[in-house]
Amino acid sequence: MVKLATSLEKRIFKIANAIIVVSNFLKRHIQKMGINEDKVFVIPNAVNPEVFDPDTVEDNLRRKLDIEDKLIIGFVGIFLPWNNLELLIDVFKEVTRENPKTHLLLVGDGPLKNTIERKVHQEGLRDKVTLAGKVNYRDVPKFIHSMDICVIPQSNQYRSPVKLFEYMAMAKPVVAPCVEPIKSVIMEYEDVVLFEPGDRDLLKKAIRGLIEIKNSRKKIGNKARKTIIKKYTWQNNAKKIVEIYKSSVHGQNVN
């Protein structure tokens, strides 16, 4: 079945006028199949900045969660192995020993939910970690708004994590692994604090640095939102796709 699927995939790529992918890794993968690189376009994921807008989100969630006086380190996503929440919990345990006012807010659900809950209890962090569970997508901006530092514990070379753009749109400082799809988005603007993937000490250092300097958090967050509005909205992506269509199918020159 895999061989058949690969064969069909290659055939579709060959007859396509244009192929859009979210990372350079995927573009290189398609090129290795003998596909002309000129018809493969990289467009990272994006966000709707009108939905994820810190100026329009209600500001009472921290009080509802009884974490109003805490410095909140947060994650939003599916509880799956590739997000490596165990690493984040391990690092947070060390961070909160040094900074007792810190609190970890994990928003989401998934196959590893019970594993994560068990780990939080085993590490003695029940009073330091809030597991918000699965929330309606329309409420996600509220939860991100309640965070002081947003973390992507792990990613890879082919994904373009939507949460990166949602965190940035909410004007939050982001700590993320230094993988190509993330680095290519922020290298021009330096809006995200990067660490080597899987490096526990560097992840801790990145979080500690943002904890210690409140002004840096605000500055990085505001800059991140400006970057989103300038370049990484779904509307901008749609315009790019229309331009690619006109150029690839109709041979029109697009300015």
Q: Token pair of 29, please?
A: 């993968």
Cα separation, 13 vs 35, whole angstroms: 7
Of 253 and 248, more confident = 248
**Whose CA is closest to 214, among 142, 148, 146?**
148
Residue 247 reports pLDDT greater than 90: no
Residues 6+ apart with CB under 8 A from 126: 120
CA atoms within 13 Å, Cβ hemisphere of 125:
29
pTM above 0.85, yes or no: yes
**Whose CA is closest to 22, among 237, 252, 197?**
237
Q: What angle do CA 93, 99, 153 make, to 5 degrees?
A: 45
Alpha helices of 68-213 — where are they, by DSSP H?
85-98, 113-122, 140-145, 162-169, 180-186, 200-212
Comma-separated ranges of CATH 3.40.50.2000 domains in the chain: 61-231
Looking at domain 61-231, its CATH superfamily turns out to be Glycogen Phosphorylase B; (3.40.50.2000)
Residue 188 reports pLDDT greater than 70: no
Percent of the chain beyond pLDDT 70? 96
Q: What is the pLDDT of residues 39-83, one digit of tens each?
A: 999 999 999 999 999 999 988 899 999 999 999 999 999 999 999
Q: In what order do the strands lie in the sheet with 102-107?
A: 129-133, 102-107, 71-76, 149-151, 174-177, 192-195
Q: Say if residues 179 and 197 touch (Cβ distance below 8 Å).
A: yes
Alpha helices of the chain — where are they, by DSSP H?
2-15, 24-31, 61-64, 85-98, 113-122, 140-145, 162-169, 180-186, 200-212, 214-231, 234-249
Of 185 and 87, more confident = 87
- What is the CA 252 to chain-centroid distance, rounded? 35
